Amino acid sequence: MNRPLLFAIGLIALGSGVSPVEARGQAFEIYLIDVEGGGATLFVSPTGQTLLIDTGNGGQRAARDAGRIISAMRDASVTEIDHLITTHWHGDHYGAMQELARQVPVRHFIDHGPSVESNATVAEFLSTTYRALYQDREHTVVTPGDRIPLGRVDVRVITAAKQVIDQPLRGGGAVNPYCVDFTRQQEDNGENAQSVGIIARFGAFRVLHLGDLTANTEFELMCPRNPIGTVDLFVVTHHGQPSSNTEVVVHAIEARTAIMNNGTRKGGQPEAMQVLHSAPGLEDLWQLHFSQLSGQEYTVPGLFIANGVDDEPGTMPITPMTGPLRGLGVSPAPIHNGEAHWLKVSARADGSFTVTNNRNGFTKEYH
């Protein structure tokens, strides 16, 4: 075949829309973006549709976190957010929304409804900024059972506003053996328990993301019967804090891989790490940050960690360090504005997937 003819055929193929499926290599891609202990997870379907779950931190950190989300979008060759889920109204999950929406189009805003906490900053954001962002776009308050269209990826809402899905999904419905040992924690009447939680399926591959859902609502979701069955990837809940991540979820789902969106001083406490490290079937835990709260005793090999600590101690003790104090009069943790790295998952319809650490290029195949 001569060159001009090949060229012409190429043009026809382009004109008829060479499907982005081929361009993306058939993969469903997930970016766990480092927003220093906040939430920002980008889903990109094989046909290029996007779902962003949470937008990181606000205030002085908004430009940084929006920038990090946009650089992940650039890596994925996408320019718009088709759906934005804000799991709940805490500053580490909606903070950089306005800054992000100023720079890239966001088409559909999804949430659980109004905040249940009395917080003047949040109330002001919801009644002015948020309303202005969604008013000529789409806005949906979701309830469990709802579907979010994402090309060939099936996204189902399983928790929202403290309600849980009442029908088992395909592969779910068996009695959950971990329910008998569950100890109820003090009731969480705040926003974490309101988190929008989803499960996304691409062929045989399944990923679970529950936002910051806390223990008692984990129990409501998973007991007495596990409505979701098993998953391949578990995005560790609530940055890896022990007020979430009870065995009724973490052990019952038998995830092959877990990725924790922790910060240097947030998440990765010993109680949560023990549950994760003893999870049946778990091959690897990956972390967005080294956690000082884990110490060497509970941490994973550095290969699996995307970012180190900002103020590196000379030596890392075996015993975990205690978390920072919270509240008034306590000096804030240092802000890290330097280089940041994501963890990227590429999943295929046969259920196999690859995880890549953007810091060191370390990649692992899960066949």
| Smallest gap from residue 228 Cβ to Zn ion (A) | 22
| Smallest gap from residue 266 Cβ to Zn ion (A) | 8
The reply to whether 92 sits near Zn ion by the rule CB under 5 A is: yes
Instruction: Identify which of residues 29 and 92 has a Cβ nearer to Zn ion in the complex.
Output: 92
Secondary structure string (H, E, C) spanning the chain: CCHHHHHHHHHHHHHCCCCHHHHHCCCEEEEECCCCCCCCEEEECCCCCEEEECCCCCHHHHHHHHHHHHHHHHHCCCCCECEEECCCCCHHHHCCHHHHHHHCCECEEEECCCCCCCCHHHHHHHHHHHHHHHCCCEEEECCCCCEEEECCEEEEEEEECCEECCCCCCCCCEECCCHHHCCCCCCCCCCHHHCCEEEEEECCEEEEECCCCCHHHHHHHHCCEECCCCCCEEEEHHHHCCCCCCHHHHCCCCCCEEEECCECCECCCHHHHHHHHCCCCCCEEEECCCCCCCHHHHCCCHHHECCCCCCCCCCCCCCCCCCCCCCCCCCCCCCCCCCCCCEEEEECCCCCEEEEECCCCCEEEEC
Segment lying near Zn ion (by CB under 5 A), choices 79-87, 208-216, 265-273, 305-313: 208-216
In angstroms, rounded to a whole number, what is the distance separating the alpha carbons of residues 114 and 238? 20
The reply to whether 212 sits near Zn ion by the rule CB under 5 A is: yes
Phi-psi region of 317 (alpha: psi -120 to 50; beta: other; left: phi over 0): beta
Instruction: Identify which of residues 82 and 212 has a Cβ nearer to Zn ion in the complex.
Output: 212
Instruction: Identify which of residues 46 and 56 has a Cβ nearer to Zn ion in the complex.
Output: 56
Instruction: Identify which of residues 26 and 185 has a Cβ nearer to Zn ion in the complex.
Output: 185
| Smallest gap from residue 92 Cβ to Zn ion (A) | 4
Q: CB of 222 within 8 A of CB of 246? A: no
Segment lying near Zn ion (by CB under 5 A), choices 64-72, 85-93, 219-227, 313-321: 85-93
Segment lying near Zn ion (by CB under 5 A), choices 141-149, 150-158, 204-212, 225-233: 204-212
| Smallest gap from residue 171 Cβ to Zn ion (A) | 28
Verify cis geometry, omega within 30 degrees of 0, for the bond prior to 224. yes
Instruction: Identify which of residues 188 and 232 has a Cβ nearer to Zn ion in the complex.
Output: 188
Instruction: Identify which of residues 82 and 92 has a Cβ nearer to Zn ion in the complex.
Output: 92
| Smallest gap from residue 367 Cβ to Zn ion (A) | 33
The reply to whether 82 sits near Zn ion by the rule CB under 5 A is: no
Instruction: Identify which of residues 59 and 302 has a Cβ nearer to Zn ion in the complex.
Output: 59
Segment lying near Zn ion (by CB under 5 A), choices 86-94, 194-202, 304-312, 338-346: 86-94
Question: Count residues contacting Zn ion (CB under 5 A)?
Answer: 2
| Smallest gap from residue 199 Cβ to Zn ion (A) | 19
| Smallest gap from residue 131 Cβ to Zn ion (A) | 23
The reply to whether 54 sits near Zn ion by the rule CB under 5 A is: no
| Smallest gap from residue 344 Cβ to Zn ion (A) | 21
| Smallest gap from residue 93 Cβ to Zn ion (A) | 6
Segment lying near Zn ion (by CB under 5 A), choices 53-61, 89-97, 154-162, 310-318: 89-97
The reply to whether 191 sits near Zn ion by the rule CB under 5 A is: no
Phi-psi region of 151 (alpha: psi -120 to 50; beta: other; left: phi over 0): left
Segment lying near Zn ion (by CB under 5 A), choices 71-79, 90-98, 243-251, 291-299: 90-98
Instruction: Identify which of residues 36 and 212 has a Cβ nearer to Zn ion in the complex.
Output: 212
Reference 155, options 238, 79, 38, 45; nearest CA is: 45
Instruction: Identify which of residues 212 and 232 has a Cβ nearer to Zn ion in the complex.
Output: 212
| Smallest gap from residue 190 Cβ to Zn ion (A) | 11
In angstroms, rounded to a whole number, what is the distance separating the alpha carbons of residues 31 and 344? 5
Instruction: Identify which of residues 92 and 188 has a Cβ nearer to Zn ion in the complex.
Output: 92
Contacts with Zn ion by CB under 5 A lie at 92, 212
